[in-house]
Each structure stands twice: as structure tokens, then as C-alpha cells.
């Protein structure tokens, strides 16, 4: 059963099926210059639906935020998570929605023994870098001309220590209060592209 949590007016829930797909695509594609094809979304959502969360203003409204992730063995030696897509509608920024979405996906990955979580984002995207680094991600390397438009990217990594009783609260599913809406919200955190590793689908 999909988990839910209510934080004031924000409802967080897991992906529930194809009926969510149009909303996810709309949120993500709005921020991309080169949108993903539908097969890319289905690659993630059909294999790792439990790692994808949506944020809604209330139980009956369309999503205003989404995160899409995967978790698998990397080179058959490491349990690795990957944040593929993260998007929050511009009218709902500065409420902590993006960080809550990331925390919820990380919490589920941790329950499934993840050892590290990676992602890529534009090297000059200070908003995205600030968000991820506040959650413990560090810059692993700079990827030159990573994007098709020629822009560089940073690959970020979060090393997750083995589970123990002392570490159960590192990342949790507890709700956070929704913050007041700002009239002039900051720049949207763009969706990280998929890496061009052999075990990943092409993003373009």
C-alpha cells in the first residue's frame, strides 16, 4: 500500500500507477529543454515505483512536486541509488517540498540497504547544489560537456553508512511543516539527467 503523510496542506504519497504518469511528465518536462521520452519514465516507474513520491496540495489535487529514483546493484558489487528526476511547480517552491521528496526516497532506499546514492546536476545550478549538499551529498567529480547543450555537470554522491540503531534517524519519513508561499519564488531546481552508463537508458 502506498504510504501517505500530511504536512499542513501538503500530502506526500508514493507513485500508484499509470494514472500518475501524465502528471509526472508534465511537471518534469516543463523544466527540460530536451524532454525524456515516455519509455524513460516507465523504465524507472515500473521497476522502482516505491522510490517515486509525489507532493499534492491535498488528497484530491494534482501533484505539484515529484521525485523519481532507482536502486540496483552497480557493477554487481555496490547497492546504489540514483535520483533521476526531481521537479516542483514554481508556484509551490520555498515550502521544503523538494527536500522532503528527496528525504522520503532516501529513507526507502536505506531500508533496502543502499550504500550510496548518486545524481548529476548542472555545475552552475547553485539552488540544486545547495539543496543536495544540505542533505549530505558531496561533489564527486565535474563532468565536462555532460549535457547535449555543452554544459558541464557535477556528479554528487551520498555515502550511506550501514544500518544501526544509532543511525535510524539519519533520514526519516517524518513530515515537515509546509512553509508560506513566496510571491517571487526562486529558480526551479532542474531535473538531473540520466547518466550514460551501460546500465542506464538513454535520456534523450
pTM score: 0.77
Whichever domain contains 46, its CATH number is: 3.40.630.30
| Residue 141 included in any domain | yes
| Residue 171 included in any domain | no
The number of distinct structural domains making up the chain is: 1
User: Which residue segment(s) compose the domain that 117 sits in?
Assistant: 4-166
| Residue 188 included in any domain | no
| Residue 143 included in any domain | yes
The secondary structure element, H or E, covering residue 77 is: none
Give DSSP secondary structure letters for 3-61: -EEEETTEEEEE--SGGGHHHHHHHHHTT-SSPPPHHHHHHHHHH-GGG-EEEESSTTS
pLDDT tens across the length of the chain (204 residues): 566 665 558 999 999 999 999 999 999 988 765 678 999 999 999 999 999 999 999 888 999 999 999 999 998 889 999 999 999 999 998 899 999 999 999 999 999 999 999 999 989 888 899 999 999 999 999 999 988 778 899 999 999 988 644 444 444 454 433 333 322 333 333 444 444 444 444 333
3-state class (DSSP) for residue 138: strand
| Residue 128 included in any domain | yes
| Residue 181 included in any domain | no
| Residue 190 included in any domain | no
16, 52, 116, 145, 166 from 169: Cα distances, Å: 26, 21, 17, 38, 8
| Residue 117 included in any domain | yes
Amino acid at each position: 500500500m502506498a504510504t501517505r503523510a500530511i504536512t499542513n496542506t501538503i500530502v506526500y504519497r508514493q507513485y500508484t500507477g499509470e494514472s500518475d504518469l501524465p502528471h509526472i511528465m508534465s511537471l518534469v518536462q516543463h523544466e527540460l529543454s530536451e524532454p525524456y521520452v515516455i519509455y524513460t519514465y516507465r523504465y524507472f516507474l515500473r521497476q522502482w515505483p516505491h522510490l517515486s513520491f509525489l507532493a499534492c496540495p491535498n488528497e484530491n489535487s494534482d501533484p505539484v512536486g515529484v521525485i523519481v529514483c532507482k536502486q540496483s546493484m552497480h557493477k554487481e558489487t555496490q547497492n546504489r541509488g540514483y535520483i533521476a528526476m526531481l521537479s516542483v511547480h514554481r508556484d509551490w517552491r520555498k515550502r521544503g517540498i523538494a527536500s522532503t521528496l528527496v528525504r522520503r526516497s532516501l529513507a526507502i532506499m536505506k531500508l533496502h540497504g543502499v550504500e550510496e546514492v548518486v545524481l548529476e546536476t548542472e555545475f552552475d545550478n547553485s539552488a540544486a547544489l545547495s539543496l543536495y549538499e544540505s542533505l549530505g551529498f558531496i561533489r564527486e567529480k565535474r563532468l565536462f560537456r555532460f549535457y547535449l547543450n555543452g554544459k558541464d555537470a557535477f556528479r554528487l554522491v551520498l555515502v550511506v553508512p550501514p544500518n544501526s540503531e544509532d543511525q535510524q534517524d539519519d533520514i526519516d519519513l517524518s513530515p515537515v511543516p509546509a512553509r508560506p508561499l513566496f510571491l517571487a519564488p526562486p529558480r526551479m531546481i532542474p531535473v538531473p539527467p540520466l547518466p550514460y552508463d551501460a546500465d542506464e537508458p538513454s535520456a534523450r
